[in-house]
Amino acid sequence: MACVLVGNCLYWVLIGESPRILEFDLDKQSLTLIHMPVDLYATNACHFSFMRVEGGVLSFLISSWDFNAQLWNMEKNCDGVVSWVLRTTIELDKLLSLKPDDGGPQLIIGFAEDNIAFFLLTKVGVFMVQLKSLQFKKLSKTNYLSHYHPFESVYTADISGERDGAELLHNMQDNCLVRHA
């Protein structure tokens, strides 16, 4: 799993007997081990990932075999003590209109951090779910695991000299999802 940059800290997941999060503070040049918000081995978790959400907050997203997903936000007090707050629980089967025979793992395969959306691979295809509105869009019918890289914006430079400057295209509905097999 790739690291996540939040503020001036990098975060990695360390898997083992007791999964933890490794935080590297770039300013202080220090390492800290942080507990996960849930015990991954004691729950029916099938996949999890981290992302940066609005306000520069580290969030933990976990999906389970029973078609639920939970989003947890990390909070630090003035002494740097970490606590986790459950932000939302999403009933994926109801949101995505999945049937009981559509069972199986729901794998979190990517994030669009600027748009606060995640990409979910299910038995019936790939979905994009926006966390703020809980709106979703089915992106493809593929159900095999691959690497997905969401593009949130495109920078187009005007090289003809007719215009001064460049355009920033930033529309979630028109963006691409690139897959590498």
Taken in order 143, 115, 71, 50, is the CA torsion positive or negative? positive
CA distance 106 to 25: 32
Q: Which amino acid is at 68?
A: N
Quote the CA–CA distance of 135 and 151 in Å, as a whole number: 18
pLDDT string in tens for the chain (181-residue length): 678 888 899 999 888 777 889 999 999 999 999 888 887 766 666 678 888 877 788 888 888 777 788 888 898 888 878 889 998 888 887 887 776 666 667 777 777 777 788 888 888 888 888 888 888 888 877 666 665 666 666 666 655 555 444 444 444 444 444 444 4
Q: What is the pTM of this model?
A: 0.70
